[in-house]
């Protein structure tokens, strides 16, 4: 930060400049955010017509509900699969991008385009291409492997298909950050390893990965939040939470409880759970990043 006096000193003007942002944040973020906490303490009856005080009743209901606990578990499992799959695939692509020096900018654009891909489009493309009867991917998968694709009826298969689409859509975002991180590694640190003829896998795991760890942590957090929230269109358009409850993730259950069953109090309690998850993740990220900043600087 600069130490010299700032050019303007009218507090009134500054307040006016901040006003639009603050008004929007208060009206559409803080107010509904706090209101979520208040509503989570009420039960809604008669399709939202009447509310009664419930204390922590909604949270108790969530904690004892088999359906909610199942939803929580598949959401965490989904996050683990999506985060690991996304990072592994985008690390491989990013490392190759980082290594080639001819045409790397063309490659980069060709590799990051899924960043622009709308999740709804990703869902509908694979609904068709992986369709059990009509999908061309299904056709060749079944022709060349012993698999039979039946993800409209098979829970684990549906989970896997949604995860693959989620990973595909998230590759672009991850590659953007990983390529930038790899390019920031000082060449002096890696030259000696290269001269020693260390193989690519060892070079990546022993030399580069530790150096880009802060970016990896950042991406773990962002991908986890992505897997919690941005996969709603995938579930909605591909599986509707099924078959069974195999893909009934927290965000989809929340949507249904709120807007199909009008259990607004219960749904608000589900929102509070999501808030806690996001808060913990952000906290972890800040702590780890700070740790690295102190260590590195």
Please give the residues from 241 up to 260 whose contact with another protein meets the rule CB under 8 A.
251, 254-255, 258-259
User: Quick check: 109 binds another protein (CB under 8 A)?
Assistant: yes
- Show contacts with another protein in window 193-222 (CB under 8 A): 215, 218
With respect to another protein, which residue has the nearer C-beta, 38 or 69? 38
Q: Distance (Å, rounded) from C-alpha 254 to C-alpha 232?
A: 10
Least Cβ distance, residue 244 to another protein (angstroms): 22
Chain residues 40-79 in contact with another protein, contact rule CB under 8 A: none
Counting contacts by CB under 8 A, is residue 161 touching another protein? no
Considering only residues 7 through 46, tell me which ones interact with another protein, judged by CB under 8 A. 7-11, 13-15, 17-18, 20-22, 24-25, 27-33, 35-36, 39
Judged by CB under 8 A, which of 51, 59, 65, 115 binds another protein?
A: 115
Of 57, 132, 155, 233, the residue at the interface with another protein (CB under 8 A) is 233
Nearest to 252 by CA among 68, 43, 38, 60: 68
Q: What is the nearest approach in angstroms of another protein to the Cβ of residue 143?
A: 9
Question: Two tokens at 209?
Answer: 């990965």
State the minimum distance, in angstroms, from the CB of residue 235 to another protein: 11
Q: How far, CA to CA in Å, does 55 sit from each of 51, 132, 212?
A: 12, 47, 46
Q: Which is nearer to another protein, 14 or 60 (CB)?
A: 14
Q: Binding to another protein by residue 181, rule CB under 8 A?
A: yes
How many C-beta atoms surround the C-beta of residue 91 within 10 A? 21
The string over 127-142, giving b where at least 16 C-beta atoms fall within 10 Å of a residue's C-beta and e elsewhere, is beebbeeebeebeeee
Stretch of residues binding another protein (CB under 8 A), selected from 73-81, 154-162, 177-185, 203-211? 177-185
Q: Is there a contact between 130 and 138 (Cβ–Cβ < 8 Å)?
A: yes
CA distance 201 to 243: 39
The residue (of 83 and 269) whose beta carbon lies closer to another protein is 269
- Of 26 and 77, which has the nearer Cβ to another protein? 26
Closest CA to 239 of 153, 170, 135: 153
**How would you write 185-199 as a 3-class SS string?**
CCHHHHHHHHHCCCC
4 Ramachandran zone, left/alpha/beta (phi>0; psi -120 to 50): beta
* Contact status, residue 162 vs residue 247, Cβ threshold 8 Å: yes
Size of site (CB under 8 A) for another protein: 95
CB-wise, 84 or 225, nearer to another protein?
225
Distance CA 34, CA 234 (A): 29
- 115/297 Cα distance (integer angstroms): 32
Supply the DSSP symbol for 54.
-
Closest CB 234 distance from another protein, rounded Å: 10
Beta carbon of residue 226, minimum distance to another protein (angstroms, whole number): 10
Look up tokens 């998968």; give the residue. 141
Q: Name the residue nearer to another protein (CB basis): 47 or 129.
A: 129
Interaction residues for another protein, span 258-297 (CB under 8 A): 258-259, 264, 267-268, 271-272, 274-275, 278-279, 282
């Amino acid at each position: 930060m600069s130490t010299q006096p700032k050019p303007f000193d009218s507090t009134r003007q500054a307040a006016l400049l901040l006003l639009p942002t603050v008004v929007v944040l208060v009206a559409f973020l803080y107010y509904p955010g706090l209101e979520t906490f208040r509503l989570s303490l009420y039960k809604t009856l008669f399709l939202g017509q009447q509310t009664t005080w419930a204390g922590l009743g909604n949270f108790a209901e969530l904690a004892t509900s088999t359906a909610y606990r199942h939803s929580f578990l598949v959401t965490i499992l989904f996050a683990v699969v999506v985060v690991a799959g996304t990072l592994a695939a985008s690390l491989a692509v990013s490392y190759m991008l980082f290594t080639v020096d001819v045409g790397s900018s063309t490659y980069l654009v060709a590799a990051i385009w899924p960043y622009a891909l709308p999740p709804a489009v990703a869902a509908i493309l694979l609904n068709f291409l992986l369709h059990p009867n009509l999908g061309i991917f299904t056709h060749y998968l079944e022709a060349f492997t012993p698999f039979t694709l039946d993800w409209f009826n098979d829970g684990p298969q549906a989970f896997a298909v949604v995860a693959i689409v989620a990973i595909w859509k998230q590759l672009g975002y991850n590659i953007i950050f990983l390529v930038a991180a790899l390019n920031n590694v000082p060449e002096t640190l890696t030259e000696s390893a290269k001269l020693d003829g260390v193989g690519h896998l060892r070079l990546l795991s022993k030399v580069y990965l530790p150096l880009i760890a802060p970016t990896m942590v950042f991406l773990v957090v962002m991908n986890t939040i992505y897997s919690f929230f941005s996969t709603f269109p995938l579930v909605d358009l591909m599986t509707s939470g099924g078959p069974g409850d195999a893909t009934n993730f927290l965000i989809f259950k929340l949507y249904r409880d709120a807007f199909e069953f009008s259990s607004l109090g219960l749904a608000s309690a589900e929102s509070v759970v999501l808030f806690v998850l996001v808060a913990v993740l952000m906290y972890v990220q800040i702590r780890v990043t700070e740790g690295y900043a102190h260590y590195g600087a």
